[in-house]
Amino acid sequence: MNKKPSYNKLLKERERLLKKLADCPPVLRGSLRKHGNKCGNPGCRCKDPKNPVLHGPYHYLSHRYESKTQTIFLGKAKLEHAREWTANYKRLIKVLYRLSEINFRILRWHYDKLDPEGTTHNREEET
C-alpha cells in the first residue's frame, strides 16, 4: 500500500463493487448448527446414562438481534434457504470490506478530489 494507486482505477473498482451491492440476493446473518436431542420418554435410549443415543441430528439456525439470540429449527426446505442466504451474507461482507478498503485508499491518497459532502468526481487526469 506504499504506492499511490490511480484515482480513476479506484473509482472504477468502487463502482464495480457498488453494482454488486445493488444486485444483492437474499442475505441472512446467523450460524447454522446441528445437534441431537433428548426426548421426554423416560425409557428411551437417549436417556441411557452410560451410552445415550440422541435423536437427530437436527439442523438449527441461531440469529442474534438487539442483544437477543433466537434459534429456529430448520427442516429440509428451510435448511436449503438458510445455507444459501448465509453464504450470500458472507459474500456480501467480503464486498463491503473491499469497498471500505477502496474508500480508505481514496481518502488516504486522493482526499483533495473529494467534494465537501465526501463524494468523489471522475477526473480524466491521473495523479
Residue spans of the domains in the chain: they are: 7-113
Q: Is the CB of residue 122 less than 8 Å from the CB of residue 108?
A: no
The string of pLDDT tens digits covering residues 10-69 is: 999 999 999 988 888 999 999 999 999 999 999 999 999 999 999 999 999 999 999 999
CA 121 to CA 27: how far, in whole Å? Answer: 31
Q: Which three cell numbers stand for residue 14?
A: 468502487
| Confidence bin at 127 (pLDDT 50/70/90) | very low
Q: Is the CB of residue 120 less than 8 Å from the CB of residue 114?
A: yes
- Say what the pTM is: 0.75
Which of residues 59 and 120 earns the better pLDDT score?
59
Q: Share the mean pLDDT of the chain.
A: 88
pLDDT of residue 43: 92
Residue whose grid cell is 480508505: 104
